[in-house]
Amino acid sequence: MAGDPRLPGGIDRISGLTDDLLGHILSFMPVWEAVRLSALSRRWRGAWAHAPVLNISDKQHPDRFLDFAGAALARYGQPDIPSLAVTIGRRSSLGPATAAWLRGAMEHVVGSIRVQVDRHTPPLDQLVLPRSLRATAMALDLSGDVLSKGVLVLPEPAEPAPFRRMTELSLSSVRLQVQPDRLGEFLSSCFPQLRKLRLRKVCNVAAEPRLWPLMLDMDMLELEVDSIHQLTVLQVVAAKLRLLIVRHCFESLAVLRADIVFKVFAPGLEVISWTGWFPKQLNFLPDAQCVRRLSGIIVNWPSISWADYCLPGVMQLLETCCGADRLDLCVDIYDGWVPSMVSKQDFMERMPHLPNIRTLSLTIVAILRMLRSPIGEIVFCFLRRCPNLTLLHIDLSTLHQFTRQDPRYLVFPEDDAETKAAKPCQDREYDPRKAHKYQLRLGSLRKIRISGFAGTDAEMELADLLFGIGAERSALEGISISSFAQLKGRIGRIAQKMRARFPLVGGRWEISSLEESTWTKNNDGLERSNALRSTTIM
């Protein structure tokens, strides 16, 4: 290809790359594609055998996958494999022979190991983990079928800390063949350098009735436990732990009304992401004052006792981590909601005061878009508990998750900008005076972002709450309002409506290059505000 006149300037720049760069490019391709590409140029021939990642897939060789994989491994140009990535998507490639080949190939890896069984594919046959590995990272996803899991056999260690080089481990869609109480001991003793641990859809073959404890004692930085319903105990001792993620665990025990033991000793814990069922007691030792961010939390609105079984745990988590300065929540509106359901005894009346929260992100969810969704009431209740906010994000995109597919089913107020400017209170249902009863002072609020905005009556009431006539927002510097893809053409009309209904003296409304309606405080006003703030600090 060198000097090929068909190329611009007749120069083949790719062949001029170094072996390392050429191998890096080829490592993104499955081996069979990299081998075919090598035939295009003598310079490229055999370059795939020096790629930093051996990427093997059964996509093109379903009936002779093992022959191809064995040949690729034998012809690889290095005694050690820097990284190995194996993707299996066909039933014919899932037998015991493949599992045996995988075990042998993993022993040659000194970097990362990734085994992925594609979606809708049955589980891989029983895989026996080697008695020791030199790899630094491993991710095993042994089933693409959501209802089944591949069996992983944990070996008897051949030596103390046989996986001492491994810093990252991810097990997904796995049935562990190990005694119920031994998993934590195995991980803690065999992986002394582990920094990131992820367990997703993991169950225990030997546990009866499939309830088992997980007790970890290791110096990891990140722990994710996802969709493990059979846990009776989650106990973690990790002095360096920074991130804890718990998703949809313990659900099976909710039906059994069983007690769950949850204890975490992590004095350096900074972020907790928790979705789903909560134990009766959250025990953080010595405490959780170091936590700075809470996310993943789902709150049902209104908090009907039979629908919101997580409510006590949400309350306890907020109280335990009252020093956090960032809170991300998802508010799920009950399908049959009516205004009479909201009472003084509802969730928000029991929500703790959170004066340390500076950044609040609220995602509002409704399966069916309701004409009178209680957006204003919901947001008001949260703002009342977080009086010192500086940044606020409200995501309304999932409020329209069905109707946004066809905008014809969305119900909008009148869109005549001139009429709105002359008569700002003449919507069919929108009444700013009614919305004003939710007004409150947020003197430190600097930026507001609303996404998924369609301009409906309920959303206009929300806008009035945040920056309407009765809102006092002395520190406000910017507002950003965006819609969703199906309503991209409405952003101009939304911008006109914002200008007419919310003039906001001291700033200007514009449409940004990202097709957002934005309000920005005038520079002179912002400079005066900053100068005043500096003078106050001095």
Residue 189 lies in a domain: yes
**Residue where a domain stops, chosen among 185, 208, 231:** 208
**Residue where a domain stops, chosen among 159, 181, 208:** 208
Crossing angle for the helix pair 31-38 and 19-26, to the nearest 10 degrees: 130
* Residue 206 Rama label (left phi>0; alpha psi -120 to 50; beta): alpha
Residue 162 lies in a domain: yes
Strands 326-333 and 243-247: unpaired
Report d(CA 140, CA 471) in Å as an integer. Answer: 53
Residue 143 lies in a domain: yes
CA-closest candidate to residue 248, choices 224, 276, 289: 276
Looking at residue 295, its pLDDT comes to: 96
Residue 76 lies in a domain: yes
Sheet with strand 261-265: strands edge to edge: 212-217, 231-237, 261-265, 283-285
CA-closest candidate to residue 514, choices 487, 491, 490: 491
Q: How many domains does the chain have?
A: 2
**Residue where a domain stops, chosen among 208, 226, 260:** 208
CA-to-CA separations, 99 to 31, 87, 105, 228, in angstroms, rounded: 19, 13, 10, 25
Looking at residue 341, its pLDDT comes to: 58
Residue 524 lies in a domain: yes
Residue 388 lies in a domain: yes
Looking at residue 11, its pLDDT comes to: 58
Residue 383 lies in a domain: yes
Residue 340 lies in a domain: no
Residue ranges making up the domain that contains 369? 358-405+439-537
Report d(CA 433, CA 435) in Å as an integer. Answer: 5
Helix segments in 93-139, DSSP class H: 96-106
Looking at residue 206, its pLDDT comes to: 64
Instruction: Name residues of the chain where pLDDT drops below 50.
Output: 1-7, 208, 306-307, 344-345, 415-430, 432-433, 435-436, 525-538
Looking at residue 191, its pLDDT comes to: 95
Looking at residue 344, its pLDDT comes to: 43
Report d(CA 86, CA 410) in Å as an integer. Answer: 46
Report d(CA 158, CA 162) in Å as an integer. Answer: 7
